[in-house]
Structure 1
Amino acid sequence: MSTETRVKNRDGSAPSPQDARPRSAGTQPPWLIVTLREVMIKVRDRSYAISTLVTLVLIVAGIVFNAFVMNRGDDYIVAVQSDSATTVVQLADEAGRADDGNVTFTAVEAGSDDAAVDLVRAEEADAALLQGAGGAWQLTGNTEIDSGISQLVGEALNAFVLESNAAAVGTTAEQLLSGAELEQTLLEGSAENQLLATIAGFVFSFLFYMASIIFGMAIANSVVEEKQNRVVEILATAIPIRQLLYGKVLGNTILAMVQLALYGGAALLALNLTGTADLVGSIIPASGWFLVFFLFGFLILAAIWAVLGSLASRPEDLNNNSTPVMALIFGALFVGLFASGQFLVIASYIPVVSSVAMPIRVLNSPVALWEPLLSLVIALAAAVALLHLGEKIYRRAVMQGGGALSLRKAMKLEQ
């Protein structure tokens, strides 16, 4: 015997379909409720908080360690046996102090070549600079010769020999080298900006890669879990499916942007505290462009991740159908690390990839304002189009149970 519970209104009439739909508290739009829910769930996740904190600590520690290495002085002791060798070491000391101010050379005189070698063997000298009977020079180390010693001593020896040979023929080294000056110039940008672009390219690419995977996978896994647990069927009775999609995309986009801002703020603070922020002023404009381009690029990827989650029936299915979005992410990583010249220019107009390519161009060489603005318009158009397409696929596929769906099958489903 079965019993059936009938629900009636106070006046005895049957409830309408609108009465049967749960009402959300307050007057907040459904997409905002989903957005706040996504943010709060992630913020309260202990693993997310720990990983963010660990990353912040690693960023600050890396900058502090780099500043320590840059400011640490290298003091080299070179054993010598002749006045000529002493002069070479003194020239190396002058060059080391002039280059970065923290590399010094000290010459220790020995009574013979063997005595100089014994000082190196006893680790009382880092190397021995000796001159043979035929005039040949030899730099001797114990188990290895530090590159700082070999480079600066080699340059000092070249200068010493050139000056000695010039004096022997009654002239000077400057006169012998007259007309041999080579000045290097670039048609666009500067060598300093190229170095900054290389460093910034690595940082931008790494941040974009990590944020796209971490928060993109969070969107896909959230969709799969709600679909697998049939929670989405309950949510669909309260809010429109498209509002659910927009809320998930917006919530994770906010989280990604906030995390990037935290990382950037921690890096700038560490650079200023360690006194290594000389070139930060050049990076800040490119960083601002990166945040804007990242926003549009992530919106595109977020829509794709949500669609992939709706097509899957379990988390394992994501490994099989995530190849397209992973190719886009790896493409952006590749461009940020290796692209240059015309290839970088073309990549700066391709949505998603432009999130990394255009900020690097802005930092690397003079770029007209219309170029990043045009790239942003293209990225925005792609984001709107993919969000619209993703919404259609999402509404069709997210309510379908059973096995995983292909994109073609999802498009054939009724809304």
Structure 2
Amino acid sequence: MNSSIQNILLVAGREIGTRAREKSFVISTGLLMAVIIIGAVVWSSLSGGESVDRVGVVGGDRSLAQTIEATGAAAGQRISAVAVPDASAARVQVADGDLDAALVVGSDGAYTAISKNAMNPTVEGILRGVSSQRALSTALEAKGVDAATLPEPRFETDRTQVTKPDEAQRVTVALIGSVLLIMAIMMGGLMVAVGVVEEKSSRIVELLLSTVRPLHLLWGKILGIGAISLGQIVLIGATAMVAGKVTGLLTLTGTAATVFAAVIAWFLLGFLFFAALYAATGAMVSRQEELNSSSAPLTVLVMAVLYSGTFGIQALDSPFIETLSWIPPFSAVLMPIRIATGDTDPAQVAGTFGLMIVACLIAVWVASRIYRHSILRTGSRIRWREVAGMVTARK
């Protein structure tokens, strides 16, 4: 194995081992997983999952119950129709909450709907429609006309917008993934910066640089913490998807899985972009107290990226958001959402992905210049004017 790659992997392994053993990291990951599971259970219980109304049928045959269920399915309301022996039993079951409603077919042909309080308007409309249809069929049969021989009315539907299946779920996956990306950037990026400052202030970096080159140390730190952060995101994301599947909040279609894969791909680029710059801001200072001031511009940029996703989802077809989707690092959050909603095409996905790769290469190049020139400097914080000189220096 090439010695440079070996050195980078050694540094990355050191970072992974150090961070994975930190109690704060383990506890925070466990808490996030617990919050997601509890939140999914509570959300599912409050929403009640898919609503199913139980309707009792008195005096009608099985075909009447089947008609009620079929009409409900056509109206988007799940109904379970069951036979009840008599009106008294139906009234008792409705009063006890065993049935949501009951339809009683009288011997005189009258239909009576029973409910405990106000009936679900959709269910009431379905029962009224089925009753009217049955009464009409009965009247026609009394006059010798078979209702089945009558031509069915011609009814067609036309939509002004193409339906996107599971769009809500796909958007949810993309939005949660984008929020997790920002969390990983904030926590992982700060871990990179804090690690650089700690090694610099304790002079450990001088010992490390006696055996590895500055760029190897930088890359190893980014890859190590990046692997830890990616593992955390995948674990939390998998927990969310499994919890959503178990509680019925998600159906986990192939499209949703594709969106999750897109989120991971953009996560890698977004994390690389910010982690490299956070490492550079850590190298600019010698004390952790100065880290907030040096990383303030990055923090503002991270929050701007977060807001572009959370607010931009309301207007993905606006010219401003469409343009912003092409600009790194905003594309790291906006593109997974646009992929989820179908408001993009393969050419834009490939183009923005390529631009993000270029932005990452530039960020790594700038960070490496700053890191190499400032990692051994101690004392007061390096000013931005000096940083500009480091970037433009020939060596």
Q: Note the C-alpha offset of 1:126.
A: 9.3
Note the alpha carbon deviations across 1:149-190, whole angstroms, 9 max, x for none. Answer: 3565578779999x99xxxxxxxxxxxxx9996621426xx3
Shift of 1:98: 5.7
Cα–Cα, structure 1 residues 100 and 67, in superposed 2: closer, same or farther, change >3 Å? Answer: farther
Contact map agreement 1:311 1:407 (CA 8 A) in 2: no
Residues of 1 paired with 2:213 and 2:131: CA distance? 81
Is 1:318 aligned to 2:292, yes or no? yes
The within-5 A match list for 1:14-413 is 29-66=6-43, 69-71=47-49, 149=120, 153=124, 183-186=158-161, 190-271=163-244, 273=246, 278-312=251-285, 313-315=287-289, 317-318=291-292, 321=296, 322-334=298-310, 337-343=313-319, 344-365=321-342, 367-412=344-389
Aligned-residue offset at 1:394: 1.8
The change in CA–CA distance for 1:332 and 1:150 in structure 2 (over 3 A counts) is same
TM-superposed CA distance for 1:352, in Å, is 2.3
- Counterpart in the other structure of 1:19: none
Give the secondary-structure state (helix, strand or coil) at the position aligned to 1:296: helix
1:302 Cα deviation after fit: 0.7
| Percent sequence identity over aligned pairs | 24
Q: 1:353 to 1:123 in 2, by over 3 A?
A: same
The TM-score, its normalising length taken from structure 1, stands at: 0.67
Root-mean-square deviation (Å): 5.2
Cα deviation, 1:135-162, whole Å, max 9, x if unaligned, reads xxxxx999x99xxx3565578779999x
Distance in structure 1 (CA, Å) of the matches to 2:311 and 2:43? 26
CA change 1:98–1:64 in 2 (3 A) is: farther
- Residue 357 of structure 1 and its aligned partner are, at CA, apart by 2.2
**Per-residue deviation at 1:92?**
9.5
Output the amino acid matched with 2:292: L
> Which whole-Å deviations, capped at 9, do the CAs of 1:101-127 have from their partners, x for residues lacking one?
656799xxx9xxxxxxxxxxx999999
Cα distance in 2 for partners of 1:97, 1:179 equals 19
Counterpart CA distance in 2 for 1:316 and 1:126 is 64
Counterpart residue number, 1:137: none
Q: Distance in 2 between matches of 1:299 and 1:384?
A: 9
Q: Partners in 2 of 1:195 and 1:45 — Cα distance? A: 37
- Greater Rg by CA: 1
Structure 2 gap segments, 5+ residues each = 56-66, 88-95, 102-114, 136-152
Q: CA deviation at 1:263?
A: 2.6
Query: Following the alignment from structure 2 to structure 1, what is the Cα–Cα distance between the partners of residues 253 and 43?
Result: 15
Using the TM superposition, name which of 67-76 and 208-217 deviates more: 67-76
Measured in 2, the distance between the counterparts of 1:392 and 1:58 equals 41
Q: How far off is 1:410 after superposition? A: 2.8
Is the 2:178–2:333 Cα contact (8 Å) retained in structure 1?
Answer: yes
Task: Kindly indicate whether the alpha-carbon contact (under 8 Å) linking 2:222 and 2:272 is maintained by their aligned counterparts in 1.
Answer: yes
1:366–1:41 Cα change, 3 Å? same
TM-score normalized by structure 2? 0.70
Q: Decide whether the 8 Å contact of 2:245 with 2:252 is kept in 1.
A: no
Match for 2:224: what amino acid? Answer: G
Q: Confirm or deny: 8 A CA contact 2:190 2:278 kept in the other structure.
A: yes
In 1, Cα distance between equivalents of 2:355 and 2:246? 39
Indicate if the aligned counterparts of 1:351 and 1:382 stay in contact, CA closer than 8 A.
Answer: yes
Q: Tell whether the 8 Å contact from 1:310 to 1:394 is kept in structure 2 after alignment.
A: yes
Corresponding letter in the other structure for 2:205: V
The 1:155–1:395 alpha-carbon spacing in structure 2 relative to 1, beyond 3 Å, is farther
- In structure 2, how many angstroms separate the alpha carbons of the residues matched to 1:279 and 1:33? 38
Encode CA deviations 1:353-402: one digit per residue, 9 max, x unaligned.
22232223333227543332222211111101110011111222333323
Contact 1:205–1:332, Cα closer than 8 Å, also in 2: no
Secondary structure of 1:29's counterpart equals helix
Out of 46-55 and 207-216, give the one that drifted further: 46-55
> Once the 2 structures are TM-superposed, how far is the Cα of residue 235 of structure 1 from its aligned partner?
2.6
- In the alignment, the residues of structure 2 paired with residue 52 and residue 99 of structure 1 have an alpha-carbon distance, to the nearest angstrom, of 43
